[in-house]
Amino acid sequence: MAHPVLWALGTTSFVASVSLALVTQFENASRPRDRGAAVLNLDQAGLGGTNPTRFAPNSVTLAADSLGHFSTEVDVAGRSLRMLVDTGASICAFSYEDAQRLGLHVYERDFNRRIDTANGAVSAATIRVPVMRIGTIGVRDVEAVVLPKGRLGKSLLGMSFLRRLNDFKMSDGRLTLRG
């Protein structure tokens, strides 16, 4: 008779332990997690500029500069370049000088694409960048152009990169990109 009682007590104890573990697991899963976005100050990182950039999983938030423009450090095929975010540019555009520094070499014969800019029509060289990254966001095989020497003051992060993101929006002087 003692044997069935011990079996019942053992089974009850086991079920109670498993139930307690499951309740604890469900309580922990239902609590909101503080993912605590890390903050990278570009001045502290030695990258120049005054815009703090926040990183969260697959999200980057940029602060506007004093003129309301957004610029950020972009990893272009493994090299860093500060670019101006330009939603009005249909394609990413590199100055000739920046392209040379990045190892994106083009030749005179490559300037065979005519594009319209705010300053008029210009010949450009079409390129493809294997990968471009901003923080935790990466986009592969990005179409871009290189403008002739002296024709572009700052390289532009255009829609050929931005349209491939899941989302981007501006609010309260901040631009949030989601990969």
Mean residue pLDDT across the chain? 77
Can you tell me the distance from the alpha carbon of 164 to that of 171, in angstroms, rounded to the nearest whole number? 20
**Could you tell me if 26 and 52 lie in one domain?**
no
Average pLDDT on 159-171 reads 96
**Could you tell me if 45 and 111 lie in one domain?**
yes
Looking at residue 6, its pLDDT comes to: 41
pLDDT in tens, 99-108: 999 999 999 9
Domain that holds residue 2: 1-31
Average pLDDT on 100-118 reads 93
**Could you tell me if 90 and 152 lie in one domain?**
yes
Question: pTM of whole model > 0.85?
Answer: no
**Could you tell me if 93 and 169 lie in one domain?**
yes
Q: Which residues, other chains included, contact 43 with Cβ-Cβ below 8 Å and sequence gap of 6+?
A: 49, 50
**Could you tell me if 15 and 91 lie in one domain?**
no
Looking at residue 16, its pLDDT comes to: 39
CB 132 within 8 A of CB 114: no
